[in-house]
Amino acid sequence: MPTPITVLIPCNILDAIYAGAKELYPRESFLLLRGKKRKGTICITDLVLAPFAVHGHGEVHFNPYMFAGDFSLVGTVHSHPSGNISPSHTDMNYFFGRILMIVGYPYEGKGCIVAYDSNSNKVPIEITAATEHRDEEFY
């Protein structure tokens, strides 16, 4: 049986996810999650925009092959404008990375976000203090 994991996400990154989802509402938003996995935790460190992603009503399309060699990507996050934060069969069939996070309308508070592993099991989320980026981290 695999070791259970917990997702650690800084509050400023969660705020950015919610802001993007609100901006695209009623279309779905989509971002890749960059982070590190250590002994039962996945720590989200950054968000990555998927180039050429298509954000539609009830669907998002992106090319996962553009990120095939980037081992810092730990999963994805997308919005469900309906407010239902359960994964669809399509969400699970196109699972990318170690976790899938879904945010639901109204995109505020801890009750609007959930994380899943590749077996559709919920993964606990802990919201941590904001992180600061140093200039040399950007590329």
pTM: 0.86
The predicted pLDDT at position 138 comes to: 45
With a pLDDT cut of 90, the percent of the chain lying above it is 64
- What sign does the dihedral 20-48-7-79 (CA atoms) show? positive
Contact 85, 112 (CB under 8 A): yes
pLDDT average, residue stretch 40-52 = 88
